[in-house]
Copies of this chain bind each other. A is one copy, B any other.
C-alpha cells in the first residue's frame, strides 16, 4: 500500500482549526490567509485542503453549506522554528460555501483538513515547463511557479481571465506572467490556449502544467496531444470528503473511474479517458 513515489505530503488524520490572519479582495477573488499550527509546512503544489468556517457553517442558500469545500493552496509560508505554516487560498464566490468563507475575518477559526491529493510532478531536465492557469485555476499555478523559481527553473506562466477585474490576480505572481482576457479589458484578447500554442510551436520539448475551467483544460489537452506534448492537469470535481472515503469525486480515466481527491487532482492528460 506504499505509494512513496507520488508527489504527496501526508496530512494529519483529523480536521484541525487554523486561525484566519486576513481576508483580502484581489480583484474578483478573495485571498484568505490562515495560520495552520499543526499541519506540514511543505504541501506539494497541486495539493488541496478541505475548508469550512469554524462557526456557523450552514444556514445559507437552501440551508447550505453542510460539507467542507476543496481549495488548492495558493501559497504556503513556513513559520520560523516549526511554528506551523501560513496557508493562502484564493477563492471565487460562487455559492454558499465560498460566500461564507469570504466573510471570515482575522482571528476567526477556519476548520481545515489537508494537504490532500497528489500534486504536480517536476519537469525532466530536457523538458521546458509551461504553466497555464485560467480564472480561479491560477491558485495552484501560483505556488508551483514559486517553487520552480526557487529552484531557478525557468517556466513561462500563461494566465487567462474573464476580465481585467479577474486578471488582478496576476499581480500575485512573482514574475510578470503573460495575461489574456476574454474581453480584452486587459492584456491580450484571447483564450489562454493561443499563447500556449505559440510557445509550443516555438519549442515543443515542453511539459504543460494547467489548472482552470473544464473547457480550458479540454482545449489544453487537445492541443498538447495534437503536438505530442505531455501535460499535467489539475482537475476539479464535486467532493464530499477529499480523502477517498465517499467515492463521489470520480473522473473517467483510461482504466475506469478514478477519484479526483486521492488519485488526483493532478492527472497526466494522457491518462484521462
| A14 on interface, CB distance cutoff 8 Å | no
| A27 on interface, CB distance cutoff 8 Å | no
What are 13 of the A-B contact pairs (CB < 8 Å)? A55-B59, A56-B56, A56-B58, A56-B59, A56-B60, A56-B100, A57-B59, A58-B58, A58-B59, A58-B60, A58-B63, A59-B59, A63-B66
Scoring A residues 220 to 255 as 1 if CB is less than 8 Å from chain B, else 0, what string do you get?
000000000000000000000000000000000000
Scoring A residues 48 to 81 as 1 if CB is less than 8 Å from chain B, else 0, what string do you get?
0000000111111001001000000000000000
- Write the nearest CB–CB distance from A52 to chain B, whole angstroms: 10
Q: Is the interface of A mostly helix, strand, loop or mixed?
A: loop
Q: Which residue of B lies closest to A100 (CB)?
A: B56
Q: Which residue of B lies closest to A96 (CB)?
A: B56
- Write the nearest CB–CB distance from A98 to chain B, whole angstroms: 14
* Interface set, chain A 120-160, CB cutoff 8 A to B: none
Q: Which residue of B lies closest to A63 (CB)?
A: B58
Complex contacts, A60 vs chain B, CB 8 Å? 56, 58
* Interface set, chain A 164-202, CB cutoff 8 A to B: none
A57 to B66, CA, bound (A): 13
A57 to B59, CA, bound (A): 5
- Write the nearest CB–CB distance from A157 to chain B, whole angstroms: 38
The 5 A-B pairs with the shortest beta carbon distances in the complex, nearest first, are A58-B59, A58-B58, A56-B59, A59-B59, A56-B56
- Write the nearest CB–CB distance from A65 to chain B, whole angstroms: 8
